[in-house]
């Protein structure tokens, strides 16, 4: 089939304009390269085709185009989708973006009837619809990945309820905790991350298609029909806001950046814990690398990369915030700059969750090293102060007393559990036993029998609750996934 002169991109010196008779000159090749987006927005291809099929069917329902043309359009779009999935679609940068690539290919396949597809539609509301569909599915995928990671953390926590290690503040040993409690802390963080994506998913409930370039259309479009076909609750309510806003993308980038910061903290601990100085964990070979020079090295490159990639996610958020700041209504071409940060953050998040999930599911816990570090009597200094509180000593006074005891230990080079009863009572008469009797690691844990505390009962119960919650959430997410897939 001969190329349509209006879409022929083979002319020397650049292609002619892709959108009709207003222009007679060719686009400068430098401008083509500068403005082209198909090399990244082809990630929206299947969403673009899904939206186009729904739009074509709506045009047929409203009798804006004949039924035969609807069939030709839908058949052609499905054939293009198959080519894209097979990797045989000829993407042409000269056609600028994924929308024009698909429309041009459709014209090659079914002829002039392809021109009917853009009836009542602008690329402005088209890309907003594609992005909404992409975000809805990507939010669900993020929740699924986080669910799997949280399941791993809870499963490993259930294995290590009785594994003890120091808890740290300021990266200094603070108080003893159970490894299960430590990993459940990250499960809690990641649950809130999942909730942020779920919350955004609920906000993606209005369909942009039909808003046009800025002011809607004079044609009798049925926006409710299109919205329902694409799985939205209703059409968007303001055509200008529809094409001018990128706050849903910003919200996704924000949720991703927060999640990546949480993942970075997990990664940092894997780096520290796997060091010779700590020796708390040994990473599996599958999630480690060697040195090009030093044959003895086993490097925690995977968590280091997650830690580093959190900066990309933060940068992507800042990039789009900066792009959107101060833009007048409605659409501006600056907004094309939303796609690369979006796609990059989505991919970075997915891969980061997956490799950390694998790292923690396969690592070996060095229980003896953790237990040895947790035996430091100084970790129970707060317990001594609280023993005095039980004896009706004001906490500030008790804190000062134990602080003096710790200072004495530092000066004499002794441990906190070495003080005799007489020595203890010299610090405060309310002490009723030598430090060796008062400082008991297991008793310290069991006294913390508060909700959210580190007693065996509370941690075991927390594992049970988390397991039940994850089971419920898995069922809910599976149902949500079926709904998302049902609109494809």
* CATH label of the domain that carries residue 256: 1.20.200.10
| Position 476 in a domain | no
- According to DSSP, residue 115 is labeled G
Task: Tell me the pLDDT tens digit for each residue of 198-226.
Answer: 999 999 999 999 999 999 999 999 999 99
| Position 366 in a domain | yes
CA 159 to chain centre: 27
CA-closest candidate to residue 120, choices 74, 72, 59, 63: 59
* Residue 342: how many other CB atoms lie within 10 Å: 27
Which of the residues 75, 275, 291, 420 is marked catalytic?
Answer: 291
Question: What CATH number does the domain containing 61 carry?
Answer: 1.10.275.10
Summary mean pLDDT of the chain: 93
Tokens of 249: 């993308």
Rounded Cα gap, residues 69 and 75, in angstroms: 10
Given this model, what pLDDT does residue 21 score?
62
Q: How confident is the model at residue 12 (pLDDT cuts 50, 70, 90)?
A: very low
Domain housing 393: 376-447
Asked whether the predicted pLDDT for residue 373 surpasses 80, the reply is yes
The number of domains in the chain is 3
Q: How confident is the model at residue 470 (pLDDT cuts 50, 70, 90)?
A: very high
**Catalytic residue at 361?**
no
Q: How confident is the model at residue 5 (pLDDT cuts 50, 70, 90)?
A: very low
Asked whether the predicted pLDDT for residue 376 surpasses 80, the reply is yes
User: Which residue, of 103, 119, 135, is where some domain finishes?
Assistant: 119
Tokens of 429: 């008469």
Same domain, 98 and 148: no
Same domain, 439 and 339: no
Look at the block and give the residue holding tokens 């292609």: 15
| Position 463 in a domain | no
Task: Tell me the pLDDT tens digit for each residue of 57-84.
Answer: 999 999 999 999 999 999 999 999 999 9
Same domain, 361 and 263: yes
Given this model, what pLDDT does residue 34 score?
81
| Position 38 in a domain | yes
Burial class (CB in 10 A: 0-12, 13-18, 19+), 350: middle
**Catalytic residue at 170?**
yes
Tokens of 273: 């814990």
Q: How confident is the model at residue 4 (pLDDT cuts 50, 70, 90)?
A: very low
Question: What CATH number does the domain containing 428 carry?
Answer: 1.10.40.30
Q: Report the pLDDT averaged over residues 423-436.
A: 95
User: Which residue, of 78, 95, 119, is where some domain finishes?
Assistant: 119
Given this model, what pLDDT does residue 292 score?
86
Q: How confident is the model at residue 486 (pLDDT cuts 50, 70, 90)?
A: low
- Beta-strand (E) ranges in 163-311? 164-169, 172-178, 206-207, 234-235, 281-282
Asked whether the predicted pLDDT for residue 10 surpasses 90, the reply is no
Q: Higher model confidence: residue 445 or residue 50?
A: 50
Task: Tell me the pLDDT tens digit for each residue of 382-425.
Answer: 999 999 999 999 999 999 999 999 999 999 999 999 999 999 99
Q: How confident is the model at residue 3 (pLDDT cuts 50, 70, 90)?
A: very low
Q: Which residues contact 442 (CB under 8 A, 6 or more apart)?
A: none
User: Which residue, of 352, 373, 394, is where some domain finishes?
Assistant: 373
282 DSSP β-pair partners? 364
| Residue 170 preceded by cis peptide, ω within 30 | no
Asked whether the predicted pLDDT for residue 361 surpasses 70, the reply is yes
Same domain, 384 and 366: no
Asked whether the predicted pLDDT for residue 287 surpasses 70, the reply is yes
| Position 480 in a domain | no
The number of CA neighbours under 13 Å toward the Cβ of 282 is: 8
* Sign of the torsion angle spanned by Cα atoms 349, 351, 354, 360: negative
| Position 382 in a domain | yes
Q: Which of 275-279, 297-301, 445-449 has the lowest mean pLDDT?
A: 445-449
Tokens of 211: 């808003």
> Regarding beta strands 206-207 and 234-235, do their DSSP bridges make them parallel or antiparallel, or are they unpaired?
parallel
Same domain, 115 and 129: no
| Position 485 in a domain | no
């Amino acid at each position: 089939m001969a190329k349509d002169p209006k879409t022929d991109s083979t002319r020397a010196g650049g292609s002619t304009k892709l959108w009709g008779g207003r222009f007679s000159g060719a686009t400068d090749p430098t401008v083509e390269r500068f403005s082209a987006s198909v090399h990244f927005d082809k990630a929206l291809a299947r969403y673009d085709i899904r939206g186009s099929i729904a739009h074509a069917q709506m045009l047929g329902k409203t009798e804006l185009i004949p039924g035969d043309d609807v069939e030709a359009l839908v058949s052609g779009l499905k054939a293009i989708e198959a080519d894209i999935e097979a990797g045989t679609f000829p993407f042409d940068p000269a056609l600028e973006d994924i929308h024009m690539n698909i429309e041009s290919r459709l014209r090659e396949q079914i002829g002039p009837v392809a021109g009917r597809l853009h009836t009542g539609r602008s690329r402005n509301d088209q890309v907003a619809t594609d992005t909404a569909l992409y975000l809805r599915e990507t939010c669900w995928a993020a929740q699924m990945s986080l669910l799997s990671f949280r399941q791993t953390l809870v499963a490993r926590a259930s294995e290590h309820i009785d594994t003890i290690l120091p808890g740290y503040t300021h990266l200094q040993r603070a108080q003893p905790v159970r490894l299960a409690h430590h990993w459940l802390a990250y499960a809690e963080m990641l649950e809130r991350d999942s909730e942020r994506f779920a919350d955004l998913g609920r906000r993606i409930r209005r369909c942009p298609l039909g808003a046009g370039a800025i002011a809607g259309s004079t044609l009798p479009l049925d926006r409710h029909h299109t919205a329902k076909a694409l799985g939205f609750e209703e059409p968007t309510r303001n055509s200008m806001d529809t094409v001018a806003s990128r706050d849903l993308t910003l919200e996704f980038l924000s949720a991703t950046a927060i999640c990546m910061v949480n993942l970075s903290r997990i990664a940092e601990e894997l780096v520290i814990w796997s060091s010779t100085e700590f020796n708390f964990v040994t990473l599996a070979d599958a999630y480690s690398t060697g040195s090009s020079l030093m044959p003895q090295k086993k490097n925690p490159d995977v968590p280091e990369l997650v830690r580093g990639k959190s900066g990309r996610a933060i940068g992507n958020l800042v990039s789009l915030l900066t792009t959107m700041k101060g833009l007048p209504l409605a659409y501006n071409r600056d907004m094309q700059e939303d796609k690369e940060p979006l796609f990059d953050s989505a991919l970075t998040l997915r891969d980061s969750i997956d490799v950390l999930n694998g790292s923690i599911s396969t690592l070996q816990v060095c229980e003896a090293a953790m237990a040895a570090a947790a035996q430091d009597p100084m970790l129970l200094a707060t317990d001594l102060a609280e023993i005095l509180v039980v004896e009706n000593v004001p906490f500030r006074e008790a804190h000062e007393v134990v602080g003096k005891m710790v200072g004495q230990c530092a000066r004499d080079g002794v441990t906190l559990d070495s003080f005799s009863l007489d020595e203890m009572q010299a610090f405060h008469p309310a002490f009723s036993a030598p430090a060796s009797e008062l400082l008991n690691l297991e008793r310290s844990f069991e006294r913390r029998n508060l909700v959210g505390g580190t007693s065996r009962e509370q941690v075991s119960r927390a594992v049970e609750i988390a397991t039940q919650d994850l089971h419920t959430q898995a069922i809910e997410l599976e149902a949500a996934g079926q709904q998302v897939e049902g609109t494809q």
